Amino acid sequence: MNRLLTGLLVLVLWSGSRAAQEAEPARDTHDVPVRFTAVEVMADSGQHPLAAYQLIFTATNAAAKIVGIEGGEHPAFKEPPYSDPRAIQHERVIIAAFNTAPAAGLPKGRTRVATIHLQVAGGQAPEPLIQLQVAAGPNGQTIPCTVNSISRNTK
């Protein structure tokens, strides 16, 4: 009889704890403030015409999701850069663009090559990290180039 009572007691306690777990309200993620920001990706090729680039963009220090990628300001890079569509909705993406125009039709010096739009949850601002993998001139030769970003807050 003790085994039967112990078994029933265990079953009742297990059922009660299970019901309490199921009755526990789900966390409401809608209470987290969400805002949108844009990050301008700038490339500086100095005196060299910029025909192609590939870089890694990462949003750090915040809960950020990439929600859109735009092209740059120079006509050679007006179209959005190539990217992995699966990378959208994450905090990291590899983007790349190229243009086969002659040197006269390519940007030199500092130019915006892309704009990356982020959805940021919470109050912390994302810190963009950009790693240039390669930059090339019109003949396909590697050229010196630096990249950085300018954050722009939008609602």
The C-alpha atoms of residue 69 and residue 97 are separated, in whole angstroms, by: 12
89-130 pLDDT tens trace = 788 999 999 999 999 999 999 999 999 999 999 888 889 999
Residue 9 inside a domain? The answer is no
Domain assignment of residue 82, given as a range:
32-154
Higher-confidence position of 33 and 137: 137
Please state the domain count of the chain.
1
21-46 pLDDT tens trace = 444 333 345 677 899 999 999 999 99
Residue 80 inside a domain? The answer is yes
The C-alpha atoms of residue 17 and residue 137 are separated, in whole angstroms, by: 66
| Pick from 46, 47, 43: nearest CA to 76 | 43
Residue 23 inside a domain? The answer is no
Model pLDDT, residue 153: 72
Tokens standing for residue 68: 């859109």
The dihedral built from the CA positions of residue 80, 82, 88 and 92, taken in this order, carries a sign that is negative
Residue 19 inside a domain? The answer is no
CATH number for the domain including 53?
Answer: 2.60.40.680
Mean pLDDT of 2-6: 38
